Amino acid sequence: MIRTILPNNNEESPWSSKVHIQTPPSESASLTYQNAIPESSVAIEESCDFEPIHMCDFFSESTAPLHFRRQSSSSDPSLPKSRKENTGHFMVIQSTRDPTEKYGRLYSPIWTFDNSLSFCLSFWDYIRKDSFGSLILSILYEGDSINMAIPIYKKKLEKIAGKDKWHKILIQSKLLKNRSFQIIFEVRKSAPRQRFWVAIDDILAHGGHCPNDGLRYDSIAAGNFF
Taking only the tens place, the pLDDT of each residue in 137-180 is: 999 999 999 999 999 999 999 988 777 888 899 999 999 988 99
- Report the C-alpha gap between 132 and 112 in whole angstroms: 33
* Structure confidence at residue 24 as a pLDDT band (50, 70, 90): very low
Question: Which residues are within 8 A (CB) of 5 and not within 5 positions of it... i.e. 6 or more apart?
Answer: 11, 12, 13
| Residue 116 counted as domain residue | yes
CATH number at residue 61: 2.60.120.200
Identify the domain containing residue 87 by its residue range.
23-223
* Average confidence (pLDDT) over 123-142: 95
* Structure confidence at residue 49 as a pLDDT band (50, 70, 90): very high
- Is 0.85 surpassed by the pTM of this model? no
Alpha carbon distances (Å) from 100 to 66, 146, 161, 191, 214: 9, 20, 28, 11, 43
| Residue 34 counted as domain residue | yes
Task: Tell me how many domains the chain contains.
Answer: 1
Confidence (pLDDT) at 161: 72
75 φ, ψ (degrees, to nearest 5): -80, -15
